[in-house]
Amino acid sequence: MASVTDTAKPDSRTAPSKPARLRQSWWLRWLPGSRLGRTIIALNVLGLAILIGGALVLNELRRGLVGARIDSLTTQGELIVNVINRAATVGEPTPQLDAGAASEILQILSNPRSQRARLFDARGRLIADSYWVADRVEWKVLPPARAREDAGGLSLDLNMGRPPPPPAAGAAQRTLAIEVSQAMRGAPVVGMRTAEDGERVVSVSIPIQHVQAVLGVLTLEASDVDEIIAAERAALAPFIMIAITVSILSSVLLNNLIAQPVRRLSKAADGVRLSRARAISLPDLARRDDELGDLTRSLEDMTQALSERMDAIERFAADVAHEIKNPLTSLRSAVETLDLVSDPAARDRLLAILKNDVQRLDRLVTDISNASRLDAELSREDVRALDLGRLIGEVAQLYQDTRRKGEPGVVFRVADTLEPIMVAGREGPLGQLFRNLIDNARSFSPPGGEVRVSLEPVRGEAIVLIEDDGPGIPVDNLETVFERFYTSRPKGSAFGGNSGLGLSIARQIAAAQGGTVRAENRSDGDGKVAGARFIVTLPEARR
């Protein structure tokens, strides 16, 4: 059964060691494709190769047996023909074949029972047959008697002779006659044909020649061809059984290796959907060193990432509700108190509070909306190589062009390099990253102060420094400043002027671009804190 859980997964994703992988697949590494594909190919080809190899071997054996049978009949026939030609030829100057002498020679040179020898004269008439010599009587099952009623009511079959030959016998006799006529031309004829009883026979017809005259034809037949074929089929049966067994075993193995694990993955995915679980956990499949193991680990990682994102969304929603509740509570209190206050100065203070809370709420909703759209923006825009110096320069110039009297200025310095500093990223989110950090630095800088931004390449990375002249960051808060909705302002600053999302968004964007953001304090010559410094590290694009 597939287990579905949202708890921490055991350490089952560790892939097998290299020696284990070598032991598992060393015998399949010569085949193309993946490990699982090589296994499928090898198992299916193995059974087919066994069957084809056995068939090829037995086909060659069959041809060899038939050829050897023909050679044997030809040798025997030539011997008998020579004897008959010398001992059974009479008449000068016109030689003739002595049928009686030839029949006696066939009786002396008796053939095995699996062979049949027939002797024909120059006119193609049968003058001797080894079945006669061996006193062998051809027999067949008689057809059922045809009832014929006579005057006395008796059913008699008066056909006392042999039954008429079957239709195949007439075709076999015509084939034999053609073979004999071809041999009458003076050349031996060999081949396979069907005999009168329907069996396949190997036939050799050799002419009996005296000088140039053809006195007759000797035909030798071997009727054991069917037995040879049956023996070949019997020999092929073990190969077929082995091939079937291998195919069945390979099917079962592939079912256990592929079909069942995929079914378990499907059930586990359905379990996540139906039971609203957070993650898939199949440790035994994740330990496999093949594509299904890779798929299982990918699904586990994917569901784990989705679970973490859902947790982050839940925490974000809780934080948003908490942050929105504060200005709403202040607004409610001010509205309820406004009707009870008659002093104009007090009413003006309440109206200022209402205005401040509305602005705070508007800023909070805007920042929350930007933070919620951040993931979509990061996934929507394609990553490309960007000139980081140009991007930061445009952002700094925009601040300088829109600067009001008394606001801190923004100064950008870039290291002297022969080539521009290129990074792989998304222009929109990266611009928001630097705007958030510059806005944060300006909010802590004194009136008329300066925010300094510098860029330089260091060992394949682009380092961006953003420095201000503010009070700095408490040492205990160097990391907590990047948490959502965290705000820490010096005494005397306006309450609610920041939502606490700017630095959190900046770190999230940097992480999505493969970089980092961290904070530290600057010190002057006396060791006192002279301001804060944010360090952004982004990987340079490969050239």
Residue 171: which CATH number?
A: 3.30.450.20
CA-to-CA distance for 47 and 152, rounded, in angstroms?
Answer: 71
Tell me: do 262 and 409 sit in the same domain: no
Tell me, yes or no, whether 421 lies in a domain.
Answer: yes
Helix (H), strand (E) at residue 129: strand 126-129
Tell me, yes or no, whether 63 lies in a domain.
Answer: yes
pLDDT at residue 134 is higher than 70: no
Tell me: do 256 and 386 sit in the same domain: no
Encoded tokens for 495: 């309450």
Tell me, yes or no, whether 213 lies in a domain.
Answer: yes
Tell me, yes or no, whether 169 lies in a domain.
Answer: yes
CA 55, 61, 66: angle at the middle one, nearest 5? 125
Tell me, yes or no, whether 361 lies in a domain.
Answer: no
Helix (H), strand (E) at residue 77: helix 35-87
CA-to-CA distance for 84 and 140, rounded, in angstroms?
Answer: 32
Question: Can you tell me the mean pLDDT for 492-500?
Answer: 53
Domain end residue (candidates: 275, 293, 324): 275
Quick one: DSSP state of residue 165?
P
Contact of 392 with 453, CB cutoff 8 Å: yes
Quick one: DSSP state of residue 149?
B
Strand partners, 454: 413, 465
Sign of CA dihedral 286, 289, 291, 292: negative
CA-to-CA distance for 364 and 362, rounded, in angstroms?
Answer: 5
Which of the pair, 520 or 163, is modelled with greater confidence?
520
Of 151-160, 207-216, 350-359, the range with the lowest mean pLDDT is: 151-160
Tell me: do 252 and 386 sit in the same domain: no
Tell me, yes or no, whether 355 lies in a domain.
Answer: no
Question: Where do runs of H (alpha helix) occur along 164-224?
Answer: 167-183
Tell me, yes or no, whether 310 lies in a domain.
Answer: no
pLDDT at residue 139 is higher than 60: no
Provide the domain count of the chain: 2
pLDDT at residue 374 is higher than 70: no
Q: Domain range spanning residue 433?
A: 381-543
CA-to-CA distance for 295 and 268, rounded, in angstroms?
Answer: 13
Domain end residue (candidates: 275, 293, 312): 275
User: What per-residue confidence (pLDDT) applies to 127?
Assistant: 87
Tell me, yes or no, whether 236 lies in a domain.
Answer: yes
Encoded tokens for 401: 């062009």
pLDDT at residue 316 is higher than 50: yes
User: What per-residue confidence (pLDDT) applies to 266?
Assistant: 83
Inter-CA distances, 411 with 45, 125, 349, 406, 535, Å: 72, 126, 38, 15, 16
Contact of 391 with 429, CB cutoff 8 Å: no
User: What per-residue confidence (pLDDT) applies to 499?
Assistant: 60
Which residue, among 85, 70, 287, 272, has the nearest Cα to 190 in the 3D structure? 70
Helix (H), strand (E) at residue 221: strand 213-222
A 10 A CB-CB count for 208 gives: 24
What lies within 8 Å, CB to CB, of 77 at 6+ separation is: 188, 204, 206, 218, 220
Contact of 189 with 183, CB cutoff 8 Å: yes
Tell me: do 87 and 202 sit in the same domain: yes
Strand partners, 456: 463
pLDDT at residue 198 is higher than 80: no
CA-to-CA distance for 97 and 85, rounded, in angstroms?
Answer: 8
pLDDT, tens digit, 9 for 90 and up, residues 210-253? 877 888 898 988 877 667 767 777 877 888 788 888 888 887 88
Percent of the chain with pLDDT over 90: 9
**SS3 label, residue 481:** helix
- Side-chain-side CA neighbours of 211 within 13 Å: the count stands at 6
Model confidence, pTM: 0.48
CA-to-CA distance for 209 and 187, rounded, in angstroms?
Answer: 10
Domain end residue (candidates: 248, 275, 302): 275
User: Which CATH number is 452's domain given?
Assistant: 3.30.565.10
pLDDT, tens digit, 9 for 90 and up, residues 477-492? 888 888 876 666 555 4
Tell me: do 385 and 512 sit in the same domain: yes
